[in-house]
Amino acid sequence: MPDETALRDPGRGLGWRVRALVAGRVVLATFGGYGVAALSTAFLALVLPMARSEAVATATLLSFAIMVGAVVWVFSARTLARAAFGLAVPGALLAGGLWLAMTLVDTVPPA
C-alpha cells in the first residue's frame, strides 16, 4: 500500500501520489478530527445525565481528548480509506444522535 509506505519512510520516492495521500490524511485529521470532536461535544452536552451547565463543561473538557484520539487514529490506520471510514461511522452516529437529541430534548432556556 503506497500510503502506508509513505508514512513509514517519507524520505524516499515521494511521488505525487504518495504526497497526495499524506495530504489527504492531514486534511482528514484536521477537519474530520475536529468534526467528530465538535459533534460529540454538541451531542454529549445534550444527553449527559447531569445539570445542563455540567454537561456542557464535561463535554467540552472531553472534546480535545476525542480530537487527539481521532488524529492518532487517522495517522495509524493502514490506509486512507480505512481512516476515513473509521471517522465517518462515529461521525454519522453522533450526527444522528445529535439530531434525535435536538428534537427530543427541550433546549429552550427556561425564562
Partner 1 sequence: MRQGFRQSMAWLHTWAGLVTGWVMFCVFVTGTATYYRTDISLWMRPELRAAAVEPGLAAERGAAYLKAHAPKAVSWFVSVPQEDRPLIGVYWLDSFEAPIQQATLDAETGQPTTARATHGGDFLYRFHYELQMMPMLGRWIVGASAIILLVALVSGIVTHRRIFSDFFTFRRDRSAQRGWLDAHNVTGVLALPFHLMITYTGIVTIAFTLMPWGIASAYKGDEMRFYVEAGQSPAWRTAAGRPAEALPLAPLVDRARAEVSEPLEMVIVNNPGDAASTVVAVFEEPKGLAHRHPQIAFEAVSGAVVARLGTLKPAAHVFTSFLGLHEAHFAGPALRGLFFLCGLLGSATIATGLVLWSVARAPKPGIAPGFGLRLVRGLNLGTILGLPIGVAAFFLANRLLPVALEARATWEGGAFFAAWGLAALAGFAWPHSRTWREMGSVAGLMFLSVPLVSALTTDRGLDFVWFDLAMVAIAAGLGSGAWKLSRYEGARRTRVARNAQTLARA
Which string of x and - marks every residue 56-95 that binds partner 1 (by CB under 8 A)?
xxxxxx-xxx-xx--xx--xx-x-----------------
Q: With respect to partner 1, which residue has the nearer C-beta, 16 or 108?
A: 108
Give the span between the Cα atoms of 11 and 91, in whole angstroms: 33
When asked if residue 100 is in the footprint of partner 1 (CB under 8 A), the reply is no
**Which triple of cell numbers denotes residue 72?**
492518532
Q: With respect to partner 1, which residue has the nearer C-beta, 28 or 39?
A: 39
Give the span between the Cα atoms of 35 and 11, in whole angstroms: 31
Total Cβ atoms within 10 A of residue 59: 20
Which string of x and - marks every residue 19-48 that binds partner 1 (by CB under 8 A)?
------------------xxx-xxxxxx--
- Amino acid residing at 36: V
